[in-house]
Structure 1
Amino acid sequence: MLDIKVNKHLFRALAKFSNLAYSCFTFGGGDLVPTAEEYMALLRCSKIQADRVYSRAVNVPTFLKKLISITGMSEQWVAARIKQKGDRKCIPWKNLRDLILAHPDTKNKVDVFALSVYRLVVFPKALGHIDEAVTNLFDLLDKRVTPVPTILAETFRSLNERQRVGEGRFIGCAQLFLAWFHSHLWKVDKVSYRVFSENYSPLKEIVAIPRRDDISEEKWMVILQDLQEEDIE
């Protein structure tokens, strides 16, 4: 997912086809909507639980305790770096970046890097910071709870907010959203997508396909408006 280039012109054009009334994307010849099943296939996480992502467990560890567990650092080290940003607690990305580069424990280093990816790429809400909300989700991953419904919910919420006010930064996983859109255009791309088998990664195939990035937003608007049902799988 880190290798997926976000085409800002395509993304902005797509966002304008968001249908608030029906929570889908309406083009010239049909409607499209990302589903949990599609996102699970793209992320290859269909074998983990899908129905507990919003369940609140009892005795949830504090932000401090979760960061201690993820980073493997002392309580004093973590407490000194926790900041208050608005109504939520967070830790600056630069502190985690330095930790990734210098941490002696490989598992903790990978966990800190993965946590950073979730906040900076999947849920880029507080720029330059990793907040409490994403650590709550990250903590559930070890319990085999899929993040897909949360990713979808944030995608729809952010798109709807942009449509409502006519502007604003997209807070959601733009890379996955664009990968989902491209996966429906196999007829346009002249690529027949293979079955999602155990040894096949649709994201890797999507990344490997060369795509033009010199098409303007206005041209994308025309292309999307002209899409017909037979163009979309």
Structure 2
Amino acid sequence: MSITEMSEQWVAARIKKKGDSKCVPWRSLKDAILTHPDVRKRVDVFALSIYGLVVFPKALGHVDEVVTDLFDWLDKRVTPISVILAETFRSLSACRKTGEGRFIGCAQFLLVWFHSHFWKVNKVSYQVFSEGYSPLKGIVATSMRDDISEEKWMAILQNLQEEDVEWRAHWLLPDEILYRCGNFDWVPLLGVWGAIGYAPLFVLRQYRSRQFIPATQ
């Protein structure tokens, strides 16, 4: 109601049950985008649709109710970066544990990570990056390769060796790293459908980065 400024009856009539989630069909949001009298609200509903269908997809053609809660908080300067990270970790971990399944998350962001870290996909010479460098803007400005088929992606992922992956992003300038939360040597990443623990110290040790003794009491 707060996002669309439509009545409670209008909203309630369009909420549908999809599995264990309450969702709003895309066609209902599309109608609001085309017919809402407030142009600003049209833009808000369009942005909400992108978040629900692309960044945090759950049910095909529907926007999950929890995504609308997150979107409502964006006006309060809440950053969605940790949520995107958490949902990416959570979805990939679920696929790995079951040995099957489909990645539920923003495939476009994952593709940016692939092109930034996989040398087999896109080898680039060393560059000097400024403080204000944005990998997303860089990817958008670069012509994307369209010669990598689905079969080729599968072959790349199945045959990756340690030397093929640059785990520290080449555009990331050396700086402080968040490696603990309170008394815990791990960082909880909170997502819209749950939380996952991320242990940066394990990653640093696994990929032979600089070691240091964690802070203790």
TM-score class normalised by the smaller sequence: 0.5 to 0.7
Judged with a 3 Å threshold, the aligned counterparts in structure 2 of structure 1 residues 227 and 101 are, in CA distance, closer, same or farther, namely same
Partner residue, 1:166: 99
- The answer to whether the aligner puts 1:123 opposite 2:56 as a matched pair is yes
Normalised by the length of structure 2, the TM-score is: 0.66
Judged with a 3 Å threshold, the aligned counterparts in structure 2 of structure 1 residues 229 and 183 are, in CA distance, closer, same or farther, namely closer
* Aligned-partner SS, 1:144: coil
Partner residue, 1:46: none
* Aligned-partner SS, 2:87: helix
CA distance in 1, matches of 2:111, 2:137: 13
- The answer to whether the aligner puts 1:189 opposite 2:124 as a matched pair is yes
* Aligned-partner SS, 1:71: coil
Q: 1:17-166 to 2 correspondence within 5 Å? A: 68-166=1-99
Judged with a 3 Å threshold, the aligned counterparts in structure 2 of structure 1 residues 231 and 69 are, in CA distance, closer, same or farther, namely closer
Judged with a 3 Å threshold, the aligned counterparts in structure 2 of structure 1 residues 126 and 193 are, in CA distance, closer, same or farther, namely farther
Normalised by the length of structure 1, the TM-score is: 0.61
* Aligned-partner SS, 1:188: coil
Q: Is this contact kept in 2: 1:158–1:172, CA < 8 A?
A: yes
> Which of the pair has more CA radius of gyration?
2
CA distance in 2, matches of 1:170, 1:230: 21
Q: Which 5+ residue runs of structure 2 have no aligned equivalent?
A: 171-217
Q: Which 5+ residue runs of structure 1 have no aligned equivalent?
A: 1-67
CA distance in 2, matches of 1:107, 1:80: 23
* Aligned-partner SS, 2:130: coil
Shift of 1:73: 1.4
Q: Is this contact kept in 2: 1:90–1:130, CA < 8 A?
A: yes
Judged with a 3 Å threshold, the aligned counterparts in structure 2 of structure 1 residues 113 and 191 are, in CA distance, closer, same or farther, namely farther
Shift of 1:196: 4.3
Shift of 1:211: 3.2
Bigger mean CA deviation after superposition, 217-226 or 169-178: 217-226
What amino acid maps onto 2:76 in structure 1?
Answer: K
CA distance in 1, matches of 2:100, 2:141: 31
Judged with a 3 Å threshold, the aligned counterparts in structure 2 of structure 1 residues 196 and 111 are, in CA distance, closer, same or farther, namely farther
Q: Which has the higher helix share?
A: 1
What amino acid maps onto 2:5 in structure 1?
Answer: G
Shift of 1:184: 3.9
Shift of 1:230: 10
Partner residue, 2:164: 227
Shift of 1:146: 1.1
What amino acid maps onto 1:100 in structure 2?
Answer: I
Shift of 1:217: 2.8
CA distance in 2, matches of 1:131, 1:230: 32
Structure number with greater CO (CA < 8 Å, separation at least 6) is: 1
% identical aligned pairs: 62
Q: Is this contact kept in 2: 1:92–1:130, CA < 8 A?
A: yes
Shift of 1:193: 6.0
Instruction: From 205, 214, 220, give the equivalent of 2:147.
Output: 214
* Aligned-partner SS, 1:130: strand
Backbone CA RMSD of aligned residues: 2.7
State the Cα deviation string for residues 60-87 of structure 1 (Å, max 9, x = none). xxxxxxxx11112122222211112223
What amino acid maps onto 2:69 in structure 1?
Answer: N
Judged with a 3 Å threshold, the aligned counterparts in structure 2 of structure 1 residues 150 and 209 are, in CA distance, closer, same or farther, namely same
